[in-house]
Amino acid sequence: MKENITLPGDPLPSNSRFYIERPPIESDAYRELLKPGSLIRIKAPRYMGKSSLMLRLIHQAQTQGYSIVTIDFKLVDSQTFLSLNDFLRWFCVNVARQLSLASHLDDYWDEEIGSKVSASIYFESYLLEQIKSPLVLILNDVDYIFQYQQIAQDFLLLLRNWHEQGKQTPIWQKVRLVLLHSTEVYIPLNINQSPFNVGLSLKLPEFTVEQVTELARRYELDWCDSQAIENLMYWVGGQPYLIHQALYYLHQQKISLPELLDNCANNNCIYNRYLIGLLTILQKDAESSQIYHKIVNYSTINIYLSTNVAYKLDSLGLIKLNGNNYQPACEMYRLFFQQNLLIENHDSSVEKLKQENEQLLFLVNVDQLTQVANRKCFDDRLALEWQRMAHLQKPLSLILADVDEFKFYNDTYGHQSGDDCLRQVAQAINSVIKSPDHLVARYGGEEFALILPQTEAGAAILIAEEIRETVKLLRIKISELTNKTQSTNTARLTISLGIACVIPSGDVSFTEFFQAADQALYQAKQLGRDRTILSSKFKFGYNE
């Protein structure tokens, strides 16, 4: 029976032919679901397909005969968040109800030992004892509870504890946790008390050109011209919901592709209701509105985003990171919000002065040759992140990178070619960085530095290795004379990197930390260049 084609918007059923897989996300998630005591974290902005993937995980769990409980935190009454005790009681009762079990909550609840311990006892001694199969506990819209900071801290600590119990206690191995959220965690959490740095982490990407082409085929559209796909993606990016909407209307022959693309630039497009919904949400937050107004109108200005604002805009899918700069997620967003996101400004001269100050701040902190942060910005930021990570007790990684044989390259090909080489290397490094909290700077000459807050050594090594391979892919040729043959040997330009990682404390000095990264870089050079070395002293989070 042919699937009925309906207007996109709701999660796609597990058997829908319109679901496009984004390998290896689905296979990795299905495999992890089978592991005792597993934890899966799925992150993506709104309308990126989290709920559709969730339905597929539920289907996989059903085929295995697992018990399934789905908790959606957007459905919780606000008064439930007034106390941790009320919240955890609500949580436990809902799990019992979905398992078709009588509550009996008071038989296990003892406020004298605390609500977190009571909740754990209730699960271990009652719920998990009553069911014979593994339990898939799906927690949707987890980021909704971030606004209740104390509740979130205690609840996330509890989830981390349950996951750790699953590594050593047979009854807790029954539990498979699945957490879905739209943005990063923007509340302070001890790194060892959060479920957001363990388990399998999956971030849903946008559709590729190939995936959009396949979806068009499933909508029975004859798209022989790849340029048509590229034109559509220029306006709406690879955002699954926007792509589905376009292909649905084209399939229904309610609009032609040229008309659809032309209308993206005005308020009469097929996305009008969706865009107005985003606008309404955005205008409820004055700070986010002000910042996004600048992003869509002043693309040449380096705009600083606080962590909270960055995460809010990211959760709505309104921005993407390009190096150290933010930009609208797609061209349609840029034009729509330029026209409709109106910010009251009673004094244009004051606003102009603010813009000029922002531009001046940008010039003061940016290296003019490479367009990444300069030495001054690096020094200021490293001191700031050192203090911030010491307060949060979270890891800080530092990567120092040096272009191999750059003096020879500069002397051989000239200073203009040398400058062009540094620009390419800087942008290659910048392209690897995805987090808004991370900073790329030109430290001096051919040396670059990266500040990576809330990043353990293992993750820093992966970033450093990606940088090393990305620089090689530039295919910048460098020739040198060999002593034996006096012939010319041509190779690609490479880069060496040194890493240090630590949780700042009174036991470690700021200078020692920097020197450790510098020494690791020196070792990389001494061992033959084109390699990454981690400091043997400062390597927090690295398991050899």
Q: What is the pLDDT of residues 366-381, one digit of tens each?
A: 888 988 889 988 988 8
Report the alpha-carbon distance of residue 461 to residue 540 in Å, rounded: 12
Q: What is the pLDDT of residues 336-351, one digit of tens each?
A: 999 888 775 544 554 5
8 A C-beta contact, residue 530 and residue 521: no
- What is the mean pLDDT of the segment spanning 54-67? 97
Report the alpha-carbon distance of residue 356 to residue 71 in Å, rounded: 48
pLDDT of residue 521: 96
Residue 344 identity: E
Q: What is the pLDDT of residues 472-498, one digit of tens each?
A: 999 898 875 444 444 445 688 999 999
- What is the mean pLDDT of the segment spanning 28-42? 96
Report the alpha-carbon distance of residue 445 to residue 374 in Å, rounded: 11
Report the alpha-carbon distance of residue 293 to residue 141 in Å, rounded: 27
8 A C-beta contact, residue 136 and residue 57: yes
Asked whether the predicted pLDDT for residue 35 surpasses 90, the reply is yes
- With a CB cutoff of 8 Å and minimum separation 6, the contacts of 461 are 499, 532, 534, 542
Count how many residues are written for the chain. 544
pTM of the model: 0.65
pLDDT band at 443 (very low <50, low <70, confident <90, very high): very high
Report the alpha-carbon distance of residue 509 to residue 164 in Å, rounded: 33
SS3 of 362, please?
helix
- Strand intervals (E) in 282-409: 319-322, 325-328, 396-403
pLDDT of residue 189: 63
Beta bridge partners of 136: 68, 176
In the chain, what percentage of residues exceed pLDDT 70? 89
Report the alpha-carbon distance of residue 413 to residue 493 in Å, rounded: 13
Report the alpha-carbon distance of residue 267 to residue 335 in Å, rounded: 10
DSSP annotation of 183: S
- What is the mean pLDDT of the segment spanning 114-125? 97
Query: Residue 328, preceding bond cis, omega within 30 degrees?
Result: no
pLDDT of residue 302: 65
User: 529: phi > 0 → left, psi -120 to 50 → alpha, else beta; which?
Assistant: left
Asked whether the predicted pLDDT for residue 292 surpasses 60, the reply is yes
Longest alpha-carbon distance in the chain: 86
Report the alpha-carbon distance of residue 355 to residue 368 in Å, rounded: 19
Beta bridge partners of 135: 67, 175
Nearest to 331 by CA among 342, 343, 320: 320
Dig out the tokens for 51 from the structure. Answer: 């709920």
Report the alpha-carbon distance of residue 141 to residue 154 in Å, rounded: 17
On the 0-12 / 13-18 / 19+ scale of CB atoms within 10 A, 74 is: exposed
pLDDT of residue 346: 43
Nearest to 430 by CA among 367, 356, 487, 485: 367
The H or E element containing residue 495 is strand 495-502
CB atoms within 10 A of CB 255: 16
pLDDT of residue 381: 86
- What is the mean pLDDT of the segment spanning 276-289? 89
More reliable by pLDDT, 134 or 263: 134
More reliable by pLDDT, 516 or 322: 516
CB atoms within 10 A of CB 498: 25
8 A C-beta contact, residue 279 and residue 337: yes
Q: Which segment of 247-251, 259-263, 396-400 scores lowest on mean pLDDT? A: 259-263
pLDDT of residue 192: 64
Q: What is the pLDDT of residues 76-85, one digit of tens each?
A: 998 999 899 9
pLDDT of residue 368: 85
Report the alpha-carbon distance of residue 213 to residue 360 in Å, rounded: 44
Nearest to 202 by CA among 345, 323, 56: 56
Average pLDDT, the chain: 87
8 A C-beta contact, residue 130 and residue 166: no
How far are the Cα atoms of 339, 397, 418 from residue 239, in angstroms, in the given order? Answer: 21, 32, 39
Report the alpha-carbon distance of residue 166 to residue 177 in Å, rounded: 10
Dig out the tokens for 65 from the structure. Answer: 């005969």
